[in-house]
Structure 1
Amino acid sequence: MTDLASPSTSQAPQPVHVFYCGICQFPVEYCEFSNSFKRCKQWLEDEHPDVYADLYSADALKEKMGSLSLEAEQKLEQDVAKNEARAEKKALKEIEQKKSSKITIIREERTKRKVTTHIQNLDAFNVDLKPAAKLLAQKFATGSSVTKNPQGKDEIVVQGDVTDEVEDMLHARQKVLSTLPEKVKVVKEDKKKKKNTEEDQQQQE
């Protein structure tokens, strides 16, 4: 008789757990290829010292560098330093741009005594406009949407005159507006409805 093949005892492969960095969002083993390696290491040391020790202890670094020539090691260190300097310069530039940026709230008169409130330049502060428009719609129980202004830039348009209320929400920095700086500059403008030629003629008569 032919022996029956015994059932396989091998287990299904276990899923691999990938641990991602809270700064660059790369797997922590690849932080050195990001532009924020220095901040990545600091975050890992503060939040997960055990993982940091596995990757960056003296023994771990010695083992890692053992396969590299001195020239390659020096080049790697120079490249990392250049990338970090470039990233820090970019971050400082973004901070300065935010400091000089401002949010404009425009109250615009429409036809038949209707008024809309326009909020411009929120995206300069990394505010996601669609959730922000939804937040405003829920807050004021009115229509609120993202549209393009005549300059081709996205803005939020809210139905009704809620200029002062919107300004208060911006300074409160709640929910999706939390990316705004504490002392965000807000400028309010009032755009009157232009009278058409027929109305002007009626007034002259």
Structure 2
Amino acid sequence: MEPQHVLYCGVCTMPLEFCEFSGTQEKCREWLKDNHEELYEEIYEVQTLTEKLETTTVTGEGDGKSDRTFVKDKSAKLEAKLERENKKKMSSKVMIKRVERTKRKRITIIHGLEIFDVDLKKAAKLFANKFACGASVAKNNQNQDEIVVQGDFSDEVLELIMANWPHVPEENVECVDEKKEKKKK
């Protein structure tokens, strides 16, 4: 028995049969037409013929086009929502702070990874195992989750983020050094 070859869409990254559920149907169709014209004709030309048969057999008011426009409107809204989320992701920053505690003790705080769909608990465990120190997920003053790593690992954390989560753009990662102000007597 031969292994089956599955072609994935270049737009929604789903198998071609599931492109209609992705919300980017029009872009998926264009991509398929540009890259695999024979498959496009096989999949979508057959669909358009069956749609025509359905619209001619539908009785009542209209010819069934209102249903298709509703699906197009819904997919356009979903597509716009996905674009807004993507813009928000690309404009957000991942902050790596090095905070000085007492004397020469420091901690490293990583904030903003959850925006890029990174599981914070798994990331904290990865940091703890990699650096052989304590790392946990905690809430900050704004009630947002952040990872607190015991020790000064800001440079190593940046390299580890780039290695394990390549979908986080490097230009969106910012390192900050936060020092305590010394009290004057």
Task: Name the TM-score, length of structure 1 as normaliser.
Answer: 0.65
In the alignment, which residue of structure 2 is the partner of 1:38?
A: 26
In the alignment, which residue of structure 2 is the partner of 1:179?
A: 167
Choose 90-99 or 64-73, whichever is displaced more. Answer: 64-73
Distance in structure 1 (CA, Å) of the matches to 2:170 and 2:99: 27
Distance in structure 2 (CA, Å) of the matches to 1:160 and 1:80: 53
Does 2:131 correspond to 1:144?
Answer: no
Structure with higher Rg: it is 1
**Residue aligned with 1:179, SS:** coil
Q: Which residues in structure 2 correspond to 1:47-126 (within 5 Å)?
A: 55-57=43-45, 59-69=46-56, 71-111=62-102, 113-126=104-117
Distance in structure 2 (CA, Å) of the matches to 1:141 and 1:88: 43
Does 2:119 correspond to 1:128?
Answer: yes
What letter corresponds to residue 63 of structure 1 in structure 2? T
What letter corresponds to residue 52 of structure 2 in structure 1? M
Q: RMSD over aligned Cα, in angstroms?
A: 3.6
1:93-142 superposed Cα distances (whole Å, 9 cap, x missing partner): 22322332112122223346432110001112222222222222232222
Q: How many residues align?
A: 174
What letter corresponds to residue 98 of structure 2 in structure 1? R
**Residue aligned with 1:106, SS:** strand
In the alignment, which residue of structure 2 is the partner of 1:9?
A: none
What letter corresponds to residue 90 of structure 1 in structure 2? K
Contact 2:91 2:172 in 1 (8 A): no
Distance in structure 2 (CA, Å) of the matches to 1:54 and 1:47: 14
Contact 2:96 2:173 in 1 (8 A): no
What letter corresponds to residue 126 of structure 2 in structure 1? L
Contact 1:35 1:80 in 2 (8 A): no
Match of 2:178 among 163, 178, 190: 190
What letter corresponds to residue 100 of structure 1 in structure 2? S
Distance in structure 2 (CA, Å) of the matches to 1:128 and 1:169: 14
Distance in structure 1 (CA, Å) of the matches to 2:93 and 2:26: 31
What letter corresponds to residue 167 of structure 2 in structure 1? T
Structure 1 residue runs of 5 or longer lacking an equivalent are 1-18
Q: Tell me how far 1:33 sits from its aligned partner.
A: 5.0
Choose 136-145 or 149-158, whichever is displaced more. Answer: 136-145
Contact 1:108 1:115 in 2 (8 A): yes
What letter corresponds to residue 176 of structure 2 in structure 1? K
Q: Tell me how far 1:46 sits from its aligned partner.
A: 8.3
Q: 1:89 to 1:186 in 2, by over 3 A?
A: same
| Percent of aligned pairs with the same amino acid | 39
Distance in structure 1 (CA, Å) of the matches to 2:37 and 2:163: 32
Structure 2 residue runs of 5 or longer lacking an equivalent are 1-5
